[in-house]
Amino acid sequence: MAKTTKLSLIGLVFLLALFPLFQPPIHSLSFLFLVFLYIILAESWNLIGGFGGYLSFGHVAFFGIGTYTSALLFQKLGLSPFVGAFPAGMMAAAVAAVIGYPCLRLRGPYFAVVTLCFAFIMDLIVKNWWFLGGSEGIHLKLVEMEIRLSRSIFYEIYLGLAAVTVIFVRWVEHSKMGLGLSAIREDEEVAQTLCIPTARLKLQAFVLSAFFPGVAGGLYAYYISYVHPDVVFDISVSILIVLMALFGGGTSWAGPLVGAALLSIINELLSTYIKPEIARMIYGAMFVAVILFMPDGIVAFVKRKRGYA
Amino acid sequence: MWNLVVILQSALSGLLLGGVFALLGVGFSLSWGVMKVINISHAAFGILAAYIAYWGLTLYGWDPMLSLLVSIPLLFFSGLVLHRFLIQKVTRAREIVVASMILTFGLAIVLENAMLFAWAPDERLITTAYSSRALFLGEVILKVSNLIGFGLSMAGIGGIYFFLYHTHTGKAVRATWQDPEGAALQGIPLNRVSMIAFGLAIASAGAGGVAMAYMYSFNPPAHNHWLIFLFLVVIVGGVGSVIGTAVAGLMIGLITGLSGAFLPFQWINVFLFGLLMVILLIKPEGLFRK
């Protein structure tokens, strides 16, 4: 990555980290918190989706599993979600390993549909199982802190997690694993003939891509203090993650970052200033426009315009 | 619960619903199989036709079947235009399936919100003079409106089958599906054939939407709910196969109806999606994949 890009990104993270010190409106902290969340989700999704070419449409399930794991650990064992987020991530990763093993044998749209089903089923199971709170959800004790302070703390944690995720995904992109995944995406049969361990790589990518959403979910439970399937297993979030990553460009680490940030900001601006249905129409038209003119995503389009490969 | 009447009732109601699934699924399967376009906006067009039928009825007193004279050509033409100006552009992308999904997803959002803006999210129900009448087979009750919806669906599927197997253009569509390059070598204009197939698919979505409206209430966001069932039907039946999708639609309808008799309400969907997952993992090509 060019030195100027690296420096400007580090500068941006630094500025974002200092942002809460300027006493901005709490709403902007919440908004940026959500942007960071989508960055975490889209970036980690990209490991299996953009790099591997396996579009998981049920990824929100791992986020939800993370929230419920940490919420239950807090409720039953009193384990603080700041600590509990880690086992939450492990739980999501474990589920991904179990689900991924049979599902990754499917290709293309079939994989997409099976993961979508998985997310639906998780949503329905949680809603109907008393142990997990059913459709009442789980209420957590509010963080015992003044609201601005707690929002700022969550903001900084999520900023850090987003940065870690982006750095990790970038590292994977340039690693042997990333190369193997690209080969799988381009042509899986050929990759197999090259002795690339496709099954192992796919599973690894899938598990890793579930871990970060799990951790993010674990923290999110504490942030909103109330965990309910409609919120954390929301299918439209799942679809949105895919769109954000592909909108920005699935083949590079920068794509989901750009996609998540841009789409969140555009969505926020549209909903604030324009009537909701018209805003959504513009939102939808935007997808159509981007896919027509930039079918490989924004980052790839910009790179090509600049003259890079 | 093991009452024969209840079982028969749920089975037959489910079967009638299945007919509608079959019609909607056939169009969806056609565009997926022939053009490799997963049309996420398929069900949304169905809702549009349902609204045309609704407004035709409430504003002008037209029978919903008459509204088809308006919606079918309108939707067919829309399909042609959409294909020519939007979808043909993405068939050149590296990943047709992905690009088409995103494109039609955007389209679905635009369509849904246009309808929301124009007609509000209120649930609409089509009630005609004969809506409350029913056919009685012993103790089993079959509503006339459901029967009409089913009849419409069967007519639609029959029409599509006739088109695909007994008309020149239809055979060209099948040839394009089986082997695009071979078809091109035969002098078949791929773009035009795909355009017609897509127009037909959208038009069938319209017919399916009206048929569905005979049975259930609807509003703009309902297309999301229908879409899940479409995926289920098409995957079980095998993408691109008209007969397969039709049979799968009937089967899914039957299973939905029967499970309504045996399972608590909230578990029906879990059962259906679980079934879809199992089928995908065991035999993703579907039952009738040629």
Which of B90, B107, B267 lies at the smallest CB-CB distance from A128? B267
CA–CA dist A294, B39 (Å, integer): 19
Report pLDDT for A95.
Answer: 94
User: Would you say residue A129 has pLDDT above 90?
Assistant: no
Q: Is the CB of A284 less than 8 angstroms away from the CB of B108?
A: yes
User: Would you say residue A222 has pLDDT above 80?
Assistant: yes
- Structural domain range at position B156: 14-120+142-282
The count of domains in chain B is 1
Over residues A91-119, the pLDDT tens digits come to: 999 999 999 998 998 887 788 888 988 99
Please state the pTM of the whole predicted model. 0.86
Over residues B114-124, the pLDDT tens digits come to: 999 888 888 88
Q: Is the CB of B231 less than 8 angstroms away from the CB of A243?
A: no
Reported confidence tier of residue A126, pLDDT bands at 50, 70, 90? confident
The more confidently predicted of residues A241 and B281 is A241
Report chain A's mean pLDDT, rounded to a whole number. Answer: 87
> Is residue B146 one of the residues assigned to a domain?
yes
> Is residue B194 one of the residues assigned to a domain?
yes
Report pLDDT for B42.
Answer: 94
Portion of chain A with pLDDT greater than 70, in percent:
98
Report pLDDT for A209.
Answer: 95
Which of A110, A128, A284 lies at the smallest CB-CB distance from B280? A110
Residues of chain B with pLDDT under 70: 1-2, 93-94, 286-290
Report pLDDT for B34.
Answer: 81
The more confidently predicted of residues A146 and A261 is A261
Contact B175, B166 (CB under 8 A): no
Q: Tell how far CA B240 is from the center of its chain.
A: 13
Q: What is the interface pTM, i.e. ipTM, of the complex?
A: 0.79
Report pLDDT for B259.
Answer: 85
> Is residue B134 one of the residues assigned to a domain?
no
Q: Is the CB of A120 less than 8 angstroms away from the CB of B228?
A: yes
Over residues B85-102, the pLDDT tens digits come to: 888 888 776 677 778 888
User: Would you say residue A227 has pLDDT above 90?
Assistant: no
Residue A126's closest chain B neighbor by CA? B270
Spatial CA neighbour of B224 closest among B46, B65, B49, B75: B46
Per-residue pLDDT averaged across A69-73, rounded?
Answer: 89
Report pLDDT for B145.
Answer: 84
> Is residue B272 one of the residues assigned to a domain?
yes
Q: Does A128 lie at the interface with B, CB-CB under 8 angstroms?
A: yes
Residue B108's closest chain A neighbor by CA? A284
Report pLDDT for B287.
Answer: 67
Reported confidence tier of residue A247, pLDDT bands at 50, 70, 90? confident
Report pLDDT for B237.
Answer: 84
Partners of B141 in the β-ladder: B136
Q: How many CB pairs under 8 A join A and B?
A: 108
Least confident of A45-49, A103-107, A145-149, A262-266: A145-149
Q: Is the CB of A286 less than 8 angstroms away from the CB of B86?
A: no
Report pLDDT for B102.
Answer: 82
Q: Which residues of A touch B107 (CB under 8 A)?
A: 284, 288
Over residues A283-297, the pLDDT tens digits come to: 888 888 888 888 778
Per-residue pLDDT averaged across A65-73, rounded?
Answer: 90
Contact B41, A285 (CB under 8 A): no
Report pLDDT for A308.
Answer: 62
Report pLDDT for A220.
Answer: 92
Report pLDDT for A288.
Answer: 87
Domain map (residue ranges) of chain A: 25-234
Per-residue pLDDT averaged across A167-172, rounded?
Answer: 93
Using CB atoms within 10 Å of the CB of residue B289, give its burial: 0 to 12 exposed, 13 to 18 middle, 19+ buried: middle
Nearest-Cα distance to chain B for A90, in Å, is: 24
> Is residue B2 one of the residues assigned to a domain?
no
Q: Which residues 257-286 of chain A have a CB within 8 Å of chain B?
A: 275, 277-278, 280-281, 283-286
Reported confidence tier of residue A1, pLDDT bands at 50, 70, 90? low
